[in-house]
Amino acid sequence: MKRFLCALLAAALTLTSAAAFATQLTGAEALGLVDTEQTTGLSGNYPTLQLGSRDGDDSAAYVVMLQNRLQELGYLTSAADGQYGQMTESAVLAFQETNGLTPTGIADDSTQSILYSTAAKQAPVDTANQDSDAIRLQQKLIVWGFMVGGADGVVGDATKTAVAEFKEYIYASNAALYAAYATPEPTPEPTMAPDAQPVAIDVPLNETVIASESGFDGEITEDIMKFVDGEYPFTIYRQLVQTGDSGAEVWRVQRRLRALGYLYKPDGSYGALTENALKYFQKKNGLQETGAADQATQEKLFSSDALKAEEYVFPYKIGISLDEQRVYVYQWDGSGYNDQIKKFKCSTGMEGYATPTGTYQSGGKVTSGEWYYFADYNCYAKYAYRIVGGILFHSVLYNSNKQGPTNSSVRALGRKASHGCVRLAVDDAKWIFENCPEGTTVIIR
């Protein structure tokens, strides 16, 4: 009886651990770096990161992890590219100043311990550069599906690009209407005689103009604001959008789904990922689950009261347990990732090369073919799939002549043995490579 109870308890613990991946985590808890009851900084023994640090092809992805957290807290606006450049240094410096740390621009252990804790302070809002008109404009462009992001009142490249595309959209749908609303061009002044021309002033070479493909610029004009304020009408629904479609209307639907957290990556082509994301939107918003954006769906989608998703919709979601050295795969069932369909034995980072915990949107296939070469170790693996930075899913190892897999890497499955990547049996690595699109959620705990 005692042996039976022990076995039952062990099975229950395993199920509990596996099920923990089925629910998306948020904030510091999602990073997996702090106890959910902890409210102050923890000592994480993080490697020192500074200007010039970068994630390698087979090393811990600490720079990307750092950049992701700085973005979440509002200190970094550039992409998380794994390169510790000047923008990342400035973001770390600002974080240190706001959080009462010595401002060095170097992400040492104490800085990262606070950064990944619930005690980390958000970046202060730059109210000096905010513009109320810009906020109203951004809010409308986000709701109408021309922009993804937050309405911060700062007119940057993203806002200008959205304005340019909005102008092009209005013109393409009704050129006569746009012409009627457009502000007349000012009458040019007479050309001066050559000898009367003033001396030219140099224009900075880095000055760029944001424009759409058809040449519409991103300038915020009085006419554009009249659309925003309702003086000029904007038609929400123009046509049915469904699987197989492409073009401007698809971009609008996809961008809005992205802004609401249903779809990870808009691409202008209405495929299976978009259809499933829209079905979930329809489910959450009390609409018929057709997967096609009809009038009722679009009127709800492009409204300010559309309900957001808890997480992105993909065919599968992946969880990695560092304690168990197991990979769990969950299938989307229309309302969540409630069905565990696979369990793989793996090898994660050994001591000194820890696989970083966290919640990531994967980078997808690293190569188009099956082979991936590790130059630092002169060996190969199959089916390399990027989790984040230099952290990959890949098969067990092959020698420099592609002979293998090596006995040592096969025997090591089930214990920590890699340089940060997640090694799998060949068939298991192939399954992820072939079935999980870019952006698939991966949680490492």
pLDDT tens by residue, 176-202: 666 665 555 544 555 555 454 444 333
**Long-range CB contacts (within 8 A, 24+) of 323-326:** 323/17, 324/14, 324/17, 325/413, 325/414, 325/415, 325/416, 326/18
State the distance between the two ends of the chain, measured CA to CA, in whole angstroms: 33
Percent of the chain with pLDDT over 90: 60
Which pLDDT score, from 0 to 100, does residue 77 have?
Answer: 80
Work out the average pLDDT over 226-247: 95
Separation between Cα atoms, residue 169 and residue 171, nearest integer Å: 5
Q: Please name which of 140, 139, 135 lies closest in space to residue 152, comparing C-alpha atoms.
A: 135
pLDDT > 70? residue 5: no
Phi/psi at 156 (5° precision):
-105, -165
Which pLDDT score, from 0 to 100, does residue 193 have?
Answer: 53
pLDDT > 80? residue 33: no
Check: pTM over 0.85? Answer yes or no.
Answer: no
Which pLDDT score, from 0 to 100, does residue 251 have?
Answer: 97
List residues bridging with 381 in a β-sheet: 372, 397
Confidence of residue 268 (pLDDT cuts 50, 70, 90): very high
Which pLDDT score, from 0 to 100, does residue 154 have?
Answer: 83
Q: Which segment of 95-99, 205-209, 395-399 scores lowest on mean pLDDT? A: 205-209
Separation between Cα atoms, residue 285 and residue 307, nearest integer Å: 6
Q: Which segment of 54-63, 82-91, 100-109, 181-190 scores lowest on mean pLDDT? A: 181-190
* Token pair of 222 as six digits: 């009085």
Q: Which segment of 60-69, 196-205, 276-285 scores lowest on mean pLDDT? A: 196-205
Separation between Cα atoms, residue 321 and residue 318, nearest integer Å: 10
Phi/psi at 412 (5° precision):
-75, -15
pLDDT > 50? residue 205: no
Separation between Cα atoms, residue 226 and residue 137, nearest integer Å: 10
Which pLDDT score, from 0 to 100, does residue 212 have?
Answer: 74
* Token pair of 156 as six digits: 């940057």
Which pLDDT score, from 0 to 100, does residue 176 have?
Answer: 67
Which pLDDT score, from 0 to 100, does residue 42 have?
Answer: 38
Residue 290: Cβ-neighbour burial (10 angstroms; 0-12, 13-18, 19+): middle
Separation between Cα atoms, residue 91 and residue 123, nearest integer Å: 9
Which pLDDT score, from 0 to 100, does residue 441 have?
Answer: 96
Which pLDDT score, from 0 to 100, does residue 202 have?
Answer: 37
Residue pair 297/282 in contact by the 8 Å Cβ criterion: yes
pLDDT > 70? residue 207: no
DSSP codes of every residue in 160-227: HHHHHHHHHHHHHH-HHHHHHHSPPPPPPPPPPPGGGPPPP-PPPTT----B-TT--B----HHHHHH
Work out the average pLDDT over 340-345: 98
pLDDT > 80? residue 342: yes
pLDDT > 70? residue 23: no
Positions annotated as catalytic residues are 394, 421
Q: Which segment of 125-134, 185-194, 252-261, 432-441 scores lowest on mean pLDDT? A: 185-194
pLDDT > 50? residue 281: yes
Q: Which segment of 156-170, 190-204, 341-355 scores lowest on mean pLDDT? A: 190-204
Q: Please name which of 82, 149, 67 lies closest in space to residue 116, comparing C-alpha atoms.
A: 67
User: Tokens 């937050």 map to which residue?
Assistant: 150
Q: Which segment of 34-43, 236-245, 323-332, 339-348 scores lowest on mean pLDDT? A: 34-43
* Token pair of 124 as six digits: 């202060």
Confidence of residue 49 (pLDDT cuts 50, 70, 90): very high
CA 275 to chain centre: 19
